[in-house]
Every structure is written in structure tokens, then in C-alpha cells.
Amino acid sequence: MNTQRAHSSEFRLLVTPLVLFLLVFLGFPAIVNLIYSISDVSFETLRQPRITGLSNFAAVWNDSAFWQASWFSLRFGVLTALLECGLGLFLAIFLSPLIERRSWLMAILMLPLMVAPALVGLMYRLVLHEFAGPVPYYLWAWFGASFSFLGPTSAFWTLIVVETLQWTPFALLLFYMAYRAIPTEIVEASAMDGARRWHLLWFIELPLMAPTIVVALLIRFIDGFRVFDNVYVLTGSGPGGSTASLSIYIYEAFFKQGAIGKAVAASVILFAVSFAVLYGLNLIASRRKGAVK
Amino acid sequence: MTFSKIRKGGLLAAAIASLLASPAFAKVTVLGWPGGPEETALRAATDIYNAKPDVAENDKVELLFFNRDGFWDKLQADLAAGSKAFDVNLLATYSIGRYAPFMEPVELSGEAASVYGDSVLKTMQYEGKQFGVPTDLSLHFMYYRKDLIEALMKDDVAKAKYAEISEKHLGKKLQPKSPDEWTWDDYAATALYFTQAVNPDSPTRYGTVLQLKNLLFNMMVFQSLPRAYGGNWMDDAGKITVNSDAYRKGLETYKLLYDAGATPRDSLSYEFAEANAAYTSGQVAAMMQWNAAASDLTSKEKSPAVADVTDTVAPPAGPEGRFTHIHGLGFGLNKNAENKAGAQAFIKWLSSKEAALTYAKNNGAPALTPEVVAEVAKDRPDLVKLGEFASKYGYVMNGGTSAKALSVYELQAKEFTGYWSGQQSLDDALANTEKGMAELLK
């Protein structure tokens, strides 16, 4: 009984810092955010916000730039997640025998992950510059013209390519680990039963990798949806706000326009939608799990 | 490991962390603009100030620098939070109104008016009060290739082609002129003439390079065009006047040049560095650019293709005259400064002739009166033009130092680049800008 009490006391002592941390660093900002989202507040009145109701939410809702940014983030998140995971899956399976024999290859393939996204943006500003970058230089030398990589019609796709090039190695790493974890007995048994390579992939390997694929898609979608650094550095959210993501919209409303209430209201909407989507996905996953049992 | 050991370890770590987190024991802390000539100049001036025998040990200056990226936003957050981490902080013309609530007016030296002149001192004033000492001034030059212009002026066949191109694109026959006599139409005609997409015989690929990225600084470069046609942000009664013929003319001129291919197609992502890279390649005939680019563009080491053939003049003229947008960087007093007296003393000295000359000799860009700049003209000939252009052509838009001035530039950047990129009409761009500015400057 005494041992149990001692354990309970130590448990409380050990958990207290975590609880305090969550209260201070998550709970307090969340409450302040909620207050700011229904207030008329500026940098001068941060400590004395004036409650005004839902006008900030109405301003966000009626702002075409908010919907433009939402649409950009959604498209960007979905497309980059699909491309990165598709490419990562292909490379993981295709390169698996090679990486198995030469494991140092994996370290090289992971290099793009080591570069800060803002730096990637800066790097591509140089690489794609018509007079300084190697890509336009060779295009000009070979075809006598240079493609506009960051023009009104191409900026979105250039950003997609830049994001995909940087983050495909992350998907590759996850898929390679999942692929290597498939029990060899199952693969060998299938082969002995006469399964062809395509059937093996489609009916054995991919289903076994499915949980990893779903997780990778989700992580990459979230990362793509909240993209900020490289887009902001490369295009400055332009031209005309056409490459503004939701994160950039919130940043610009907060710092550039000083519309703190509006920026926070947008972040609250974003939080609510994200929570609903994640909760829905969790619910679906739980039901499927229950059905399988 | 027992629980008591963990607790002791935790206490020790907390003690070390609190020691490391203690503020530096500086006397007067000054937050400067990092990584450029401004930092070099400020360091030199500070060394001289600190070496003075009458500066008390407790009033010696220590400089602080952090990254340029997001500098103004971080400064805004620090000031709003009542930070005491610095006594003196950097200030810019377009952000005075934004920071004024967290700063205090300053007292300048008795020499300040004769060193800088009233128009330059005004770049650091807000609601009639002096909030800073103007250490660096930024304005715009028209950089051009004098070899190309001279060749054009001597060639009758080229002149005829020039007239033909100007008539086709601008609706009037123009003749080549010396850049010092250019109107904005002459600039546009020259840019078109030196564009291979318009004139396949052009020696350069592009006639000009425009900085069209969705960025507030690019709007500063643009403003001088509508201003030359009488454009302003608002009239004396406070009515927003941006939806005007002057802005329409400016926006249409840029659009014409972009659509004709007179500037690189990726100009919509160009800012200072990209424009310089394009110009130094030798494939651009003329461009509007910040005065800060002068030393690089005329340096044989940095710009071998164009250094010897580049010259500068003030921006082209319009019906209302010739104008160059000016804004200053300077230093002001944090309202929450811990050593206010020491900080004020440093600011006062910084506005003296001695400090201004030290600053100028060490790569700074102060706009000095003709009498003062004469003392450094041999070492810094560019400062002569800077001072001359600032006093003759310099302007600040009505509302350009208000609390929301930065937001106005941001708004214009978004709406105007939207028009130039073809995402919205000119009418929509101007209407949206007018509506947004009315909200910001009410």
C-alpha cells in the first residue's frame, strides 16, 4: 500500500511539469487567441483588447483573399502530398535492392531534408534567375528562349516542383522502412505460389504498407497545407496574392496589415477545420479497426 | 538515479539557464540594421563616440544586430511587448507612425539642420515631432548604359526605328534624348527600342528590368512615376486620391513594358538583387534602382560587363516635374529604454557634423547639405548626387509616415502586381487599392 502511494506521489510530481508546460505554452495562448479573435485589438492595445463579437470572423469570411489562400493551400497540400508519396513509393521499391547493398546511398538521398525551406527558396531564386541561374542559361543556349518559371501561369507549378523535390526523400524514407519490414516469408510463399511481381506488389506489399502510406500522405498534406517559408521567399505570395497560402495570409494580416483580430480569427477557423478533419479521419480509422476485429 | 538526484540536477540546470538568460550588461544598447554598409558605418561612428573622454563608462554604446529578414516585424513585436533589450532602435520613414506609440521624441544637436537640411530631417518626423536622426537616405537613380544611348543618338537609321517603335507602342513619334531630359514616355520608348522582342536588332535582350515582386519596397521604386503625373496618396482633406489618371498612367506604362517583353518575364518575382543581376549581365539598357546599388553597378570587380559604361541620372520627368521617392533609416529612442539619458546623448551626438562625416566616410549614405557633403565629395562622389537629388526631387507621399504606411505599400504591391500579371483589371486594381487605403488611412 505504501509503495503504491509512493508511486502515485512520484507520478504526480513527474507529470506536473508536463501539465504546467501544456497549460502555459498551449492553454494560455489558446485562450488569448480566442479573446483576440472576438476583439478589436492592435499592437498598441494588446493588453486591453476591446471585445467586439464576431466581426473579425465575418471580415475573414467575406475576404476573397482568405478563400484564394485557402484554395491555394488545399491544392498545394493535396498535389504535393500525392506527388511526394507517389514518387517516394516508387523510389523506395525501385531502389530498395540498391540501398540494401549500399546503405550510404540513403544518406545522400536524405540531403534535401537537411536544408531549411527558406534556404531552398533562396536557392531556387538563384537557380531559376534568367541571368544568374543554370537552368535558364541552358534553356537560352539550347532553345534561344527562357521559360518564365515564376510568371503568373507557372509560379504555382514551379512551387509544387520545388516542394516535391525537397520532401520526396521524407516519403522515401518512411516507405523504405515499411517495405523492408514486410516479412520475407510472406513474399517467398507468394512467389512459390506463382504470384507475379505485379500481383505481389498490388496484393501483398502495398496492403501491408497501407498504414504507412496513409500516415505519410497525412503528414505531407499537413506540411504542404501550412507551407510558408519557401513560397514566401520565392514569390512573396505574388503575383497579386496568387501564391499566398493560409499561413502567409495569416502572417500578412497580423504583421503587415496590423489586423491582429482578423489574423487570429483566420487561425481559429483554420484550427476548427483542421480539428474537424482530423477527428473525422480518426473516427473512420477507428470504425475500420472495429470492423476488422 | 533517485528522485532526489533528478531534483538536484533540475535545480542546477535551472540556475545555469537563468545565468545564461541574463541580459548583457550594456550601457547604451543600440539595435542597428545588420549586414550592410549601414552596419559598417554605425560601427565606425560608435567607436569614435565610445573613445571620447567625456562619455561616461556607463554611457558607452554597445551595438546589437539580428537578421534583416522580418526585422521590422520582430522590432514591432519587441516594442509592443515593452522590450528593454535595446535603448536606441532603428527607424524608417515609412514605419515611424507604426512605432511612435512605443518611442519618445528626440532632441538633435544644434548642427542637425545645417548638416542634413529640413527636407531630410522631415523623413524622421511624425505629427510634427522629431523621432529620429536620419543616418541613411534611400532614393532612386535611373541607371543607364551610356554607350548604347550615345550610339543611338548618333545613328539616323536607329533614330528612325526608335520613332517607329514609339509610334506603334506609345502612339507618338519620339526622338532619342539624353537621359537627363527623359520623360517617362522617353524612358518607355528607349526600353522598347532596346528590347529584342520588339526590335530584333537591339544589342541587349531587354530594354529595362522592372521589379514587380509582390513586395512593399518595389512599390517605392514605382511611386515616382505616378508622382511625376501629379499622383499622391491623399489630398490635404484626407481624401484618398490613388484612383487617378496619374496612377492609371503609371500602372499602364509598367504593364505595357511587361506585356511587350521589355523586362524579363520573371520580373514578377524580381526585387533588388534580381534586377541588379539582370543589369550587370549586360543585357539590359536602363533601369530604375535604389541608390544603394550604385557602388556595385559601377565596380569593375563586381560588374565587369557594365561598370565602365553605366551612368546615373534622376528619375524621368512628367508634367508635374521630376521626383524621386525618398525614405530614411535613422535611430530613435525606445520608450522603455533603461538608460534614456545615455541613449539621448548618443542620438544627439549622432546628429552632429562630426558623426555625419564619420558615417559618410565609412560607407553610410547620409543625405548631407552641399556645404557638408563637399568635405567628403572626393571619397564619396555618390553622396553629392544623393544630397542633390534628395533636396531637388525628394518627396514623401501624404500619409507616407502614418502608422499604416507600410500596410499601404503592401496593399498596393498586392493589387498592382495583380494587374501587371493579368489577374485583375486596372479598374479593379485601382478600386481595390482606393477602398483598402481608405480603410487603412481613416
Q: What is the pLDDT of residues B149-173, one digit of tens each?
A: 999 999 999 999 999 999 999 999 9
Do B197 and B342 fall within a single domain? Answer: no
At residue B13, the pLDDT reads 56
Is the Cβ of A31 closer than 8 Å to some Cβ of chain B? no
B214–A238: do the CB atoms touch at under 8 Å? yes
Do B127 and B154 fall within a single domain? Answer: no
Sort out which chain B residues have CB atoms less than 8 A from A234's CB and list them: 269
Q: Answer whether residue A277 shows pLDDT above 90.
A: no
Please report whether residue B6 resides in a domain.
no
Please report whether residue B8 resides in a domain.
no
The ipTM value here is 0.77
Tell me the residue length of chain B: 442
Sort out which chain B residues have CB atoms less than 8 A from A46's CB and list them: 80-81
Do B227 and B129 fall within a single domain? Answer: no
Sort out which chain A residues have CB atoms less than 8 A from B76's CB and list them: 43, 255
Is the Cβ of A238 closer than 8 Å to some Cβ of chain B? yes
Is B396:B120 a contact under the CB 8 Å cutoff?
A: no
Closest Cα in chain A, distance from residue B110 (Å) = 33
Sorted by sequence, the CB contacts under 8 Å of residue B420 that are 6+ apart come out as A239, A240, B212, B251, B254, B255, B258, B268
CA nearest to A9 within chain B: B3
Digit-coded pLDDT (tens) for B63-94 = 998 777 778 888 988 998 899 999 999 999 98
pTM, rounded to two decimals: 0.81
Give the torsion sign (CA, A154, A160, A163, A164): negative
CA nearest to B212 within chain A: A239
Number of domains in chain B: 2
Do B131 and B148 fall within a single domain? Answer: no
Burial label for B5, CB within 10 Å (0-12, 13-18, 19+), is exposed
Please report whether residue B47 resides in a domain.
yes
Please report whether residue B291 resides in a domain.
yes
B407–A257: do the CB atoms touch at under 8 Å? yes
Q: Which of A9-23, A78-92, B425-439 has the lowest mean pLDDT?
A: A9-23
The C-alpha cell at A3 is: 509503495
- Mutation for testing the A interface, residue in B269, B281, B336, B433 having most A CBs under 10 Å: B269
Is B430:B248 a contact under the CB 8 Å cutoff?
A: yes
Closest Cα in chain B, distance from residue A2 (Å) = 17
- Taking alpha carbons only, the member of A79, A87, A162 closest to residue A127 is A162
Q: Are strands B321-322 and B317-318 parallel, antiparallel or unpaired?
A: antiparallel
B418–A252: do the CB atoms touch at under 8 Å? no
Closest Cα in chain B, distance from residue A169 (Å) = 28
Partner residue facing A240 (CB), from B3, B70, B424: B424
Phi, psi of B333 (to 5 degrees): -105, 120
- Mean pLDDT in consecutive groups of 10 residues from the start of chain B, 442 residues: 54 51 65 86 96 94 84 87 94 89 95 90 90 94 97 96 97 96 98 97 97 92 97 94 97 98 93 93 96 88 95 96 93 96 97 96 91 91 88 88 87 94 95 94 84
Partner residue facing A239 (CB), from B216, B268, B280: B268
CB contacts under 8 A, A 241-270 vs B, are: 241-242, 252, 255-258
Do B267 and B412 fall within a single domain? Answer: yes
Do B321 and B194 fall within a single domain? Answer: yes
Cβ atoms within 10 Å of A230's Cβ, excluding its own: 23
Burial label for B183, CB within 10 Å (0-12, 13-18, 19+), is middle
At residue B127, the pLDDT reads 87
What CA–CA distance (Å, rounded) separates A267 from A282? 22
B268–A242: do the CB atoms touch at under 8 Å? no
DSSP, collapsed to helix, strand or coil, labels residue A279 as helix
Cα–Cα–Cα angle for A79, A82, A88, nearest 5°?
A: 130
Do B282 and B335 fall within a single domain? Answer: no
CA nearest to A140 within chain B: B205
At residue B160, the pLDDT reads 97
Do B131 and B157 fall within a single domain? Answer: no
What CA–CA distance (Å, rounded) separates B275 from B264? 10
Please report whether residue B9 resides in a domain.
no
Please report whether residue B1 resides in a domain.
no
CA nearest to B217 within chain A: A236
Give the torsion sign (CA, A127, A132, A138, A139): positive
Is A41:A50 a contact under the CB 8 Å cutoff?
A: yes
Burial label for B274, CB within 10 Å (0-12, 13-18, 19+), is buried
B281–A131: do the CB atoms touch at under 8 Å? yes
How many inter-chain contacts (A to B, CB under 8 Å) are there? 111
How far does CA A286 lie from the centroid of its chain?
23
Q: Which residues pair with B91 in a beta bridge?
A: B330
A256–B410: do the CB atoms touch at under 8 Å? yes
Do B313 and B332 fall within a single domain? Answer: no
Sorted by sequence, the CB contacts under 8 Å of residue B168 that are 6+ apart come out as none
The C-alpha cell at A139 is: 534553356
Residue with cell 479497426: A289
Partner residue facing A240 (CB), from B214, B277, B403: B214
How far does CA B415 lie from the centroid of its chain?
20
Sort out which chain A residues have CB atoms less than 8 A from B209's CB and list them: none
DSSP, collapsed to helix, strand or coil, labels residue B415 as helix
The C-alpha cell at A160 is: 509544387
- Mutation for testing the B interface, residue in A45, A66, A256 having most B CBs under 10 Å: A256
CA nearest to B211 within chain A: A239
CATH number at residue B422: 3.40.190.10
B213–A131: do the CB atoms touch at under 8 Å? no
Please report whether residue B5 resides in a domain.
no
Partner residue facing B269 (CB), from A43, A44, A234: A234
Tell me the residue length of chain A: 293
Closest Cα in chain A, distance from residue B409 (Å) = 9
B407–A256: do the CB atoms touch at under 8 Å? yes
Cβ atoms within 10 Å of A184's Cβ, excluding its own: 8
Sort out which chain A residues have CB atoms less than 8 A from B265's CB and list them: 130, 146, 148, 151
At residue B6, the pLDDT reads 52
Closest Cα in chain A, distance from residue B370 (Å) = 37
At residue B21, the pLDDT reads 45
What CA–CA distance (Å, rounded) separates B430 from A19? 52
Burial label for A102, CB within 10 Å (0-12, 13-18, 19+), is exposed
Is B207:B296 a contact under the CB 8 Å cutoff?
A: no
A10–B264: do the CB atoms touch at under 8 Å? no
Digit-coded pLDDT (tens) for A91-146 = 999 999 999 899 899 999 999 999 999 899 989 988 999 888 899 889 888 888 77
Is the Cβ of A168 closer than 8 Å to some Cβ of chain B? no
Percent of chain A predicted with pLDDT > 70:
97
CA nearest to B403 within chain A: A258
Sort out which chain A residues have CB atoms less than 8 A from B418's CB and list them: 239-242
Do B247 and B345 fall within a single domain? Answer: no
Please report whether residue B367 resides in a domain.
yes
Do B419 and B388 fall within a single domain? Answer: no
Is the Cβ of A134 closer than 8 Å to some Cβ of chain B? no
Domains parsed from chain A with CATH numbers:
68-292 (1.10.3720.10)
- Taking alpha carbons only, the member of B216, B210, B170 closest to residue B193 is B170
Ranges of H-type helices in A128-243: 134-143, 155-180, 184-192, 197-199, 206-225, 229-235
A239–B215: do the CB atoms touch at under 8 Å? no
Sort out which chain B residues have CB atoms less than 8 A from A239's CB and list them: 212, 214, 268-269, 417-418, 420-421, 423
Is A113:A169 a contact under the CB 8 Å cutoff?
A: yes
What CA–CA distance (Å, rounded) separates B18 from B13? 9
Is B251:B429 a contact under the CB 8 Å cutoff?
A: yes
Domain encompassing residue B336: 23-138+327-395
Is A29:A253 a contact under the CB 8 Å cutoff?
A: no
A43–B413: do the CB atoms touch at under 8 Å? no
Do B170 and B293 fall within a single domain? Answer: yes
Cβ atoms within 10 Å of A227's Cβ, excluding its own: 22
Cβ atoms within 10 Å of B323's Cβ, excluding its own: 26
Digit-coded pLDDT (tens) for A25-60 = 888 888 999 999 999 988 878 888 899 989 999 999
Ranges of H-type helices in A181-205: 184-192, 197-199
